[in-house]
Chain A
């Protein structure tokens, strides 16, 4: 092969150079059917339809492949595929974690923001700034505040007896780690307790990074969905009037009691251990506020800590509502006399009449500054030297005139002199296209991580990324159109011993699809998929006792199309994760993950063989084949292969499946008991035995290694 002919982009020159050094030849381009299936799975996360395959195979334009890549990058499903790595980084889930694992019904707002941002190719610098500090931008739009939902995927312990500060500290540590993994490619958590000789970040530096996040408070905001605001605004004046009317007769009495309640709470907060009744009240206010609504943890205590004159109207109202409902301990007799219980109920009923605004999880800078210190031995009670926000010494400092806050930190990340973030992001991108990053340990570029296989290429890509205005789609186009990416993935005897992990990239790699992609693909080829984009999480069917692994968790399957949505939208419960995801290596939901495993286990085989969802897909696939292809077996099999694998069967495959089909058909025709038990695909005047035999065959196809692999 002439090398000059092989290379298509500057990327390829770097790859070729390395191969030359190693004395290896690149592989030829993969066949067109393989290529379209590969790039479609990589860019939108689902296989191509037979029509898309046919169009591509028939497209004789010299830039047919580039056109294909452009079409996929413009697909609204693109964002769904590329959101998943970010959700792994911030360990997104729909519940709190810890013992009670309560629901976070509006967690999905961040996910939605992310899908939209990726679809409109929000430049990486903006994506970074908005996720880390959207709230600190001048006059931030609701959308920009919503982006900080990235930081809200830390766990919330709402278990009684949890120390409020201990678990706030855990959240800040988690945010610091999430930040370092996602943008610096560093595993900094080890420095929490003490210095480690070879780590780039020492303990003091860890707490300097920690200090940026220590001043962030969790707060939920009204973030109305389209169409929600107008009806709300129309009703609001009436609501305000009615509310004022209800409260008016008791204004003074309530104010007096509430002031006493707040005083007692603040006393308990200042001197814990003195009065256990009020210790408990303070604790509950911090822990339970907004539980099952996914409201920010410690929102309640932060409001009480704030001067009443500095509280917003909304904060005042919510605190009053909480007090009326939970404050009887202040003076039970007086509460009864004034019938505050009743009043609380009326206020609640009134609120139900007001049209709802959907809320969103965000962070904001705390109005009550905290003094950040080093935690000796990682123990939050052992306060060491005071620290202020700062960046690690091995990286450039913050600009001198910069206010040391999250916004400056985010801008510092994207400054030209900071070498890491662009490389870390490009490396993760590369991983999606080749199965492994140029630095294998995408989560660790530090001294413990692996060395880059192609350091100059990584540098070049990082510079290119900035010069192309941080456009992620531009970089993905660049990688996807390279000759390196388009190589065949066939194993080569000369590489088996030389490069078993394919680090030199003398070929492409065959990669098992992710948990989400496997299920999405089965739903897609069978025609069951409900491809609607966005919205709250859904509960597709799964064995009912899976959710019971957690503490009083329940799983009521969704109905209609929500049973067949893309895996991105599945409700993720931290304590009892979606069973299919666990089987196929989706990462744990409590820890930042920059790189998924790809295992190969008998439980995966059992899932594909027997999970009713996959069997339902086999039935639907059979019905589809019978509907779309004429009566002849070969034509139908060809159609089935095109749908599932984007290629026709080989003669050997045909022969084997023909034998299987005939055998099944014979059994089904002969034995009415088997047929009676067998599933029917569709009806519609189809021969039941034939339809059942095709269902069996459909199930075989959904179990094939090449079906769950992108080659």
Chain B
């Protein structure tokens, strides 16, 4: 424990002893009320209390829309007219020189995108007809077309994108950020994860929002789409609200008595944890209550539409969370893993997500929150320019799909610290390899941290005798992306 933590707890303890007087019988709500009235700042003893960044920064919060499974950049963002000519032909030798991937077979044939593209915004950013809403945000978006991963299977590649390494047991980006900056919210966790999907669950699972070797207070807390949004947030059936508060007060008092007899300093942390738990029980319902949102806002997120409701609810929740000081919100939408029936599945996933994602950016912007919120849209890799060969022959994009492709894929960034209205990076005329501004996942991570005022080489944690960081031993700041 560092000295700051220690003093924070000490201060809290003294305060509690004075007000609760051992057998004080003061219900917690009253205690909290008193805190407000006396104006005495109760120092937060939790590990997620706010901490200053390494340097002043535009972005304070992150909303990462993680599109799990590998959305096809060639059918959404990166038009390749040459493919029309090569459709059905083998991939030219020249593109395969660097092919060393175990999964991507060189002998497949080119499949042109069946989509139509148009340029949007003053910057002239390309979007396919499947993303009409995000396209309207073109001038706020930075489209990065030259991302590179070195892994082509979902699990390791998703771990790399989220935790900086394909190995299990490392902290995810959200954990690193809340470890580095803490959270402004006293009533909600600093790192929240929201899930949605088009029928199948999220692959990769909880390792993607794990705290790894960081203290577990930095773990991503999954809000759920049904039942309790936070596990066990509501009282069990049969516990009347009238008795709830008294129960908590009794627990706290008994723990305080025990603390006095044993001197165990961990008890003070336990008491603080129960307080935050209590505040979460009160704050979360307010967070989840959309009744004060205008009809126009609800409509814009697609809350009233069956197709967009799930992802839209999560997007709106994300905005409400950053408004309330949550540091890092991550939405997972799956799955974009379109090995077959590319057209059909892309249509489903874009229909679910396009409108809400655009609404989120516009809503943040209109509330003046976009400047301090970094929004990220993207998955763990992209898809091949060739059709999928494993599922039998067929060039029909209604039946065929594309394979995993980590050598050049697209992501979108907007908001805090990012220069919108530009396209960065370029892939070759087939979309096979990156030819300009190659940006590795670690470079992206270094840049994201930079937007938050964090030097990625200095945000470290000592574990098993070594200093670890999100970007492992690499990562390069990509100045082109920044304001």
* Contacts from A to B (Cβ < 8 Å): 98-99, 101, 157, 159-163, 166, 187, 189, 273, 276, 280, 381, 441, 443-444, 446-450, 489-493, 500, 510, 512, 543-546, 548-553, 574-577, 579, 582-583, 585, 588, 590-591, 597, 599-607, 609-612, 615, 650, 652-653, 655-657, 659-660, 663-664, 667, 671, 673-674, 677-679, 696, 699-700, 703-706, 709, 711
Contact = CB atoms under 8 A, between A and B. Distances in A.
B184 interface: no
A602 B206 contact: no
B233 A606 contact: yes
A597 B192 CA distance: 21
Nearest to B102: A163
Nearest to A446: B465
Contacts of A673: 240
Given A161-B404, A601-B216, A674-B240, A711 B228 contact: no
Contact of B265 (A448, A491, A597, A671): A491
Nearest to B105: A273
A656 B253 CA distance: 8
Contacts of A656: 23, 25, 250, 253-254, 257
A609 B248 CA distance: 9
Contact of A577 (B206, B228, B464): B206
Most buried by A among B207, B238, B264, B339: B238
B203 A543 contact: no
Contact of B390 (A161, A603, A657): A161
Given A273-B106, A615-B239, A575 B254 contact: no
Interface string B203-233: 1111100100001110001101111101111
B154 A590 contact: no
Given A159-B154, A500-B1, A576-B206, A551 B280 contact: no
Interface stretch (B270-278, B345-353, B445-453): B270-278
A226 to B, nearest CB: 37
A98 B238 contact: no
Nearest to A576: B205
A280 B206 CA distance: 30
Interface centre among B103, B154, B249 (most CB of A within 10 A): B154
Given A444-B464, A601-B273, A660-B246, A610 B107 contact: no
A276 B247 contact: no
A91 B242 CA distance: 44
A677 B238 contact: yes
B456 to A, nearest CB: 20
A334 to B, nearest CB: 20
Interface in B264-318: 264-267, 269-270, 273-274, 276-278, 280-281
B247 A545 contact: no
Contact of B276 (A500, A602, A660): A602
B231 A704 contact: no
B261 interface: yes
24 contacts: A381-B100, A491-B262, A491-B264, A510-B266, A543-B232, A549-B202, A550-B203, A551-B205, A575-B204, A575-B205, A585-B216, A601-B217, A601-B273, A602-B273, A603-B230, A604-B273, A606-B233, A606-B277, A610-B236, A674-B242, A678-B240, A678-B243, A696-B247, A705-B270
B236 A615 contact: yes
A512 B265 CA distance: 12
Given A606-B230, A652-B23, A588 B169 contact: yes
Given A575-B206, A667-B242, 13 more contacts: A161-B103, A273-B107, A490-B263, A493-B263, A551-B200, A600-B269, A600-B270, A600-B273, A652-B23, A653-B257, A655-B23, A704-B254, A709-B264
A706 B232 CA distance: 22
Given A161-B390, A512-B266, A606-B280, A166 B232 contact: no
B474 to A, nearest CB: 13
Contact of B206 (A510, A549, A674): A549
B104 to A, nearest CB: 10
Contacts of A574: 205
Contact of B251 (A650, A678, A700): A700
